[in-house]
Amino acid sequence: MPNTRLTLISHPLCPFVQRAAIVLLEKGVSFDRIDVDLAAKPDWFLALSPTGKVPLLKVSQADGLDAVLFESMVICEYLEESQAGPGLYPGDALARARQRGWIEFGTATLAEAWQFLNAKDRPTADAKQAAFRGRLQQLESVLVQGPYFGGAAFGMVDAVFAPLFRYFDILDPMVSQPIFENLPRVSTWRAGLATRQSVIAAVGKDYAERFQQHLRQHQAIHAA
């Protein structure tokens, strides 16, 4: 759909927005981006978003009407199906299904990581760190070759995990290093994602400071 105009409605810190932005960048698709203050959601946004959440993807169509998609993986799947550029899933149906399973795993892993990052007390932080590391150990057991989840080619699973790993590049290394210790495959994967141009460009240059500010505002024990 070469004449389709796309607008990504986002928030500067949202990891789910980053998924969609990464896919757009991997596909080489031109798009506009509008950030929304989720603490004071504008009426126009609430009229578009059934859940009151980001991301949204507004698709301008040839008839002049706009279609609005919500939920990050719905958006990513639409982009995979509708846009040119490299495919982000393997051609084999079984391999695709397995990767979609690990995408669901990635969403649950993000929840564990988020609770760890925002913990306000040591017992909660320790419990969530253990749960998150347990999930990383499961990933370690299935990663075979790199630098990406499926091997040499960047794929949809990578777009899901890159925003998650980004958090731990911002934290004090004294906090993040023990979590990834003795996980060489996961660590290699994390490092490869950190240098991918689409991953870098999916957030603003002030992302790290914004995230630290978020942690400070929420009185998280890992705030700098």
Domain assignment present for residue 222? The answer is no
Which residue among 9, 14, 57, 79 is the active-site one? 14
Please, which pLDDT band fits residue 62 given cuts at 50, 70 and 90? confident
**How much is the average pLDDT of 124-152?**
95
Is there a single domain that holds both residue 35 and residue 109?
no
Q: Is 192 helix (H, G, I), strand (E, B) or coil?
A: helix
Is 14 considered catalytic here?
Answer: yes
Q: What crossing angle do the helices spanning 15-27 and 72-82 adopt, rounded to 10°?
A: 10
Last residue of a domain, one of 82, 110, 134: 82
Domain assignment present for residue 157? The answer is yes
Please, which pLDDT band fits residue 11 given cuts at 50, 70 and 90? very high
Domain assignment present for residue 88? The answer is no
Please, which pLDDT band fits residue 66 given cuts at 50, 70 and 90? very high
Angle at 208 between CA 205 and CA 214, to 5 degrees: 125
Distance of CA 122 to the CA centre of its chain: 26
For residue 2, the model assigns a pLDDT of 45
Range of the domain at 46: 5-82
Please, which pLDDT band fits residue 1 given cuts at 50, 70 and 90? very low
Cα gap 144→20, rounded to integer Å: 26
Cα gap 99→105, rounded to integer Å: 10
Is there a single domain that holds both residue 110 and residue 206?
yes
| Per-chain mean pLDDT for the chain | 95
**Is residue 160 within 8 Å of residue 103, measured between CB atoms?**
yes
Domain CATH number, residue 154: 1.20.1050.10
Cα gap 187→147, rounded to integer Å: 10
* pTM, full prediction: 0.96
Is there a single domain that holds both residue 98 and residue 77?
no
The tally of domains found in the chain comes to 2
What is the tally of helices (H) and strands (E) in the chain? 10, 4
Last residue of a domain, one of 82, 109, 138: 82
Last residue of a domain, one of 54, 82, 110: 82
Is there a single domain that holds both residue 37 and residue 142?
no
Domain assignment present for residue 116? The answer is yes
**How much is the average pLDDT of 197-203?**
98
**Is residue 24 within 8 Å of residue 79, measured between CB atoms?**
yes
For residue 4, the model assigns a pLDDT of 62
Is there a single domain that holds both residue 59 and residue 124?
no
**How much is the average pLDDT of 111-130?**
97
Backbone φ, ψ for residue 134 (5° rounding): -60, -40
151-189 pLDDT, tens digit each: 999 999 999 999 999 999 999 999 999 999 999 999 999
13-34 pLDDT, tens digit each: 999 999 999 999 999 999 999 9
**How much is the average pLDDT of 76-104?**
97
For residue 144, the model assigns a pLDDT of 85
Domain CATH number, residue 69: 3.40.30.10
